[in-house]
Amino acid sequence: MVADRQVLEDVGFGKGHLSTVHLVHEEKYGGKVILKIPGGEMSKTILSISEKRFQTLHNTEVDIYNIIENHSEFDVAHPKIFETEKMEPPVTGGFILMEYIPEVTHLYANDNVKAEELVEPVKNIARLHALGERLNEAERRLVPTDFLKGWFLELFTEKNKALFMSVWQPGKMADFMSSPQSADAIRVLSEILTPDEFARLNDDCQMSGVKAVFCHGDLSSHNVLFEKLPNGSMKFRSICDFQGSNWGNAAQDLTRLFVTALSGQDRREKGEHLLKIYYDELVRVTRGKAPFTWEQLTRSYTRFLPHHAAIVCVTTPGKFLRSLAEMEEGAEKEEFKTKMLEKYIALMEDLNEAWKSRTRV
């Protein structure tokens, strides 16, 4: 039982809103393990996410971990799973007990990694995408096909969108947009985060002819675990949080990762190189039978960029502004501000350009 376990630390505090994540002691698994329980109070009380949605997300994650472990030959780095319990009607309970990976660093929107530090995560996601081809019919049915329109419709209700967009009022983020393109993009955010757009991206493969693959669905940098080495570099350890997994366009994972993990400059200058590393690994693991062409991948990336850039630009500035206000004046505050504004301005400029060119891709 969840309640019987000794909680050592709330390791998920401030790191996400869809689950409670505790470090607990479990003797039969060697001591420290991670206990993940679906449902976060902020998501329930402020964003009004339903219990049914939490059930869907949690049960999907349980199924996906089982699938990945059943196909270990693809070598997708993930925490070892010890025990799981689904949320079943009536909607109660549910947990995942998994491996505790020590020394990992949890990344946020204000953390950038170097492009070369994304090489291994990108190769892992290529292997995950290839894994889908090996699923039997029963396994395939466990992977949702409607995650993008279902989840984002519930997250970006008119009430929630107004809450998120409030950070872009004059006197807040709007004042920091130093280029005409980034300032003009403020109005574009509301155009992107609409039910029609969520449905279009959800059904992108049917509309574009690009073959759907087994996607992670929420491959932001905070779901990629790194160890910070003594020299300051980051070593990839694991991918986690598979609750958004779905059949979809591979670009949803790649755009989500790049817009969250990279500085604007690195994403612009080295994003295509990382896409090539991804595609080469996909070709290798599928033995030359990649599910889509290189051209289809790059065009898909451009289609999905506005969506994931917009999500970063509406959901994370609130924390940025609070952190900025709490910091003492000095070099550290100025460095933090400069780093974040470089990222936001580049995202706003690029989502604006990609949104305008969407009819061409």
* The pLDDT of residue 46: 63
Any idea what the Cα angle at residue 224 is, between residues 218 and 227, rounded to 5°?
Answer: 170
Range of lowest pLDDT (42-51, 109-118, 246-255): 42-51
Say if residues 353 and 181 touch (Cβ distance below 8 Å): yes
Percent of the chain with pLDDT over 90: 84
User: Above 70 in pLDDT, residue 52?
Assistant: yes
- Evaluate if residue 360 carries a pLDDT over 90: no
Tokens of 29: 């698994």
Domain made up of 105-360: CATH architecture: Alpha-Beta Complex (3.90)
pLDDT at residue 110 in the model: 85
In the chain, where the domains are located: 2-100, 105-360
What is the rounded average pLDDT for all residues in the chain? 92
Q: What is the mean pLDDT of residues 66-86?
A: 97
Overall CATH class of domain 2-100: alpha beta
Q: b/e for 240-263, b at 16 or more Cβ within 10 A? A: bbbbbbbbbbbbbbbbbbbbbbbb
Q: Would you state the pLDDT for residue 200?
A: 96
> What average pLDDT does the segment 55-60 reach?
94
* C-alpha span between 273 and 116 (Å, rounded): 10
> How confident is the model at residue 44, as a pLDDT?
57
Please write the tens of the pLDDT for every residue from 321-345.
999 999 999 999 999 999 999 999 9
Per-residue pLDDT tens for 284-317? 999 999 999 999 999 999 999 999 999 999 999 9
**Does residue 15 have a pLDDT over 70?**
no
pLDDT at 51: 85
